[in-house]
A and B are shown apart, each in its own frame.
Chain A
């Protein structure tokens, strides 16, 4: 390994730390009957790309993104691997928003409103997980999503 290579954690520590929630994510995206196949595919895609990652940040968000891509490809019925090669610099699952329509929709809002909306509607997380990502309580997470939705509505109604 070169001196510039990031100190990536052992891959399996990510699997053991996030596997349960990734399976739940795969189940929401692909349904219970396909969730395990999707997640297995996602882990293998992630393993192939893992040594090439240029930084060791946002690995959980990256795994969400790889899982989302695997679910979409399973649904389309054709493999597509290239988008998993790099983790997002920020935690955006932009494959779900491939045409950028969602980002464009929320662009006028402050980041404090955009992030809860992405977690809820792009990454499709429940409020417990949104709370974990935002570092607040689930009630506060629900409130922030709700406020952001209201702001968005008002913005587009105006």
Chain B
């Protein structure tokens, strides 16, 4: 059986976006830290998944949050793809992409990720304790760590820039090796 041509799939996705029929758009991207799945909703990027994360479950989660009309398009997300590729290949860009943290339902966790996104720039790091304090709850470093561990948009919301106050590199949802690569890329290590 002939596989579906990419041109047909892109044409369907583009028409869907044009007609307002897409609840979310996703794209798969090969990068130096492995394949990423990036999902964009109406208000920005809602999910970034590393290649270990089962794609079916990730997209089912998106469908549950935003609606089932989830389509794939490299073309519609070309700007996002270019920005992420350039960033992960070491260009000194700031990765200024729109983010939608609507999948984070716990208010404090959401505040932590918003604070992280807004205040910790490339090349900088912050401790979990300091991030909790900046987010309005000094001492809540465990909750801040949980927020980072469950960050639905890693890389774009830079949880790799959050380190334990006790020293060391700490944990990372995408694995410590990736955290180290990202921090080295940014010149923070």
Contacts and interface: CB of A to CB of B under 8 A. Distances in A.
Contacts of B64: 1, 7
B11 A50 contact: no
Contact-size category for A: 20 to 34
Contacts of A12: 26, 59, 70-72
Contacts of A36: 5, 8
Contacts of B177: none
A36 B4 CA distance: 9
A51 interface: yes
Contacts of A135: none
A69 B16 CA distance: 19
B94 interface: no
Contacts of A24: 1-2
A114 to B, nearest CB: 27
Give the interface size bracket for B toward A.
20 to 34
Contacts of A1: 64, 67
Interface stretch (A14-22, A74-82, A115-123, A140-148): A14-22
B34 interface: no
Interface in B3-36: 3-5, 8-9, 11-12, 15-16, 19, 21-22, 26
A1 B9 CA distance: 27
Interface string A1-38: 10000011111110110011101100000000000100
A137 interface: no
B16 A50 contact: no
A102 B59 CA distance: 40
B4 A50 contact: no
B42 to A, nearest CB: 15
A44 B14 CA distance: 10
A20 B9 CA distance: 11
Contacts of A50: 68-69
13 contacts: A1-B67, A8-B68, A9-B63, A11-B70, A12-B71, A12-B72, A13-B70, A15-B71, A15-B72, A16-B72, A19-B9, A44-B19, A48-B21
